[in-house]
Amino acid sequence: MKSNAISPSGLARHDAEIQENLFHWNRKPLLREVYADFYREIACRLGGCPQTQVVECGSGIGNLKSVLPDCLTTDLFPNPWIDQTEDVYALSFADDSVAAFILFDVFHHIEFPGVALTELHRVLKPCGRLVMFEPASGLLGRIVLGLFHHEPLGLGKPISWTPPSGWSHRSATYYAAQGNAWRIFRRGEYADRFAGWRLREVVYRPAVAWLLCGGFRGPQFCPRFALPLARVLDRVLAVAPGLFASRMLIVLEKTAC
């Protein structure tokens, strides 16, 4: 197994968050239904991939297997529900060997996205896909996530595409900037850094039910019987992502095919 990619203090913080998420996951049935909708959206984007392994990086509590049971779950450290430890900066897989990678709420924790994207590109098979599900910074997302989420948005801070000289993935520390995917894939920052990739799709979601269920840690404002209404409202508000997006799905494809 590979060595952990973050310092002991960062590792402890990640694991503490995972254990807290597991507690709330078990006590909130609506949260599980909302995330099942997200996972089904991800699964729909895997059609047409080369028929080999699908790997999730940063699997957290391993919920994705509820929809994709054959997905290989990985994280920086072992847990009973994790298949193997992996570091997105230094993956153990051979070149051109994986059909698809899934990163759910992981990209905004990657301090140096250029390093991770290069490594993911190396491992993906030709025409393989990288599917990411991330916070979005429409007006609604900025308000709710900025005021009520413990992680910073980071919309005004520089993104370090590559690390400084002498950096090692083994010494990486805890990092979070919820707005990074919005900046890169909505605003087009760093658009010239994606040689070898094709942006297949970006989908924006108000994620009304997710907001009303309070996520993992917040109070739940939506009863389970109102979930169908929240889904309808989500489709209506999705026409104006600049105003209402709080979630986004990104699909990248390796172009060497």
Question: What is the DSSP track for the chain?
Answer: -PPPSB-HHHHHHHHHHHHHHHHHHHH-HHHHHHHHHHHHHHHHTTTTS-SS-EEEES-TT-GGGGT-TT-EEEESS--TT-SEE--TTS--SPTT-EEEEEEES-GGG-S-HHHHHHHHHHHEEEEEEEEEEEE--SHHHHHHHHHH-SS---TTSPP-SSPPTT--GGGB-----TTHHHHHHTS-TTGGG-TTEEEEEEEEE--HHHHHTTTTTSPP-S-GGGHHHHHHHHHHHTT-HHHH--EEEEEEEE---
Q: What is the pLDDT of residue 77?
A: 86
Q: What is the pLDDT of residue 10?
A: 62
Q: What is the pLDDT of residue 257?
A: 60
Instruction: Please indicate, yes or no, if residue 228 is contained in any of the structural domains.
Output: no
Instruction: Please indicate, yes or no, if residue 211 is contained in any of the structural domains.
Output: no
Q: What is the pLDDT of residue 9?
A: 58
Domain range for 39? 8-135+153-205+248-254
Q: What is the pLDDT of residue 6?
A: 47
Instruction: Please indicate, yes or no, if residue 215 is contained in any of the structural domains.
Output: no
Instruction: Please indicate, yes or no, if residue 41 is contained in any of the structural domains.
Output: yes
Query: Total structural domains in the chain?
Result: 1
> Which CATH number fits the domain that encloses residue 99?
3.40.50.150
pLDDT tens sequence for the chain (257 residues): 333 334 545 677 777 888 888 898 999 999 999 999 999 999 999 987 776 799 999 999 999 999 999 999 999 989 999 999 999 999 999 999 999 999 999 999 999 999 999 999 999 999 999 999 999 999 999 999 999 988 999 999 999 999 999 999 888 788 999 999 999 999 999 999 999 999 999 999 999 999 999 988 888 998 989 999 999 999 999 999 999 999 999 999 999 76
